[in-house]
Structure 1
């Protein structure tokens, strides 16, 4: 996908680099929200295990 002419003068290299992926949301309505949700849940789970020093606890879950 090529960058349109009006976008060529835009100074943000980050937006120019990720332009096709930014437009992906508008084309396909796809986001990485499910991955972000899974990441947040896994971090919350690990934080809830504070105080456990071995992995043996995971075998009983």
Structure 2
């Protein structure tokens, strides 16, 4: 559940930063910010998946 709130928060932050940078006409920074946010979400998801796999191993005794 917390990962959903994190992704929603990053999406809102992306919208705000994109709006500010569009007004400043800095398109290359918009791309950098989006890529860094997507990488952050990917890392968070990988950590959560690894926790889930470890929990499944513990429960099923694998």
What interval of TM-score do these two structures reach, taking the shorter chain for normalisation? 0.3 to 0.5
Higher helix share: 2
TM-score (norm 1): 0.41
Larger gyration radius, structure 1 or structure 2: 1
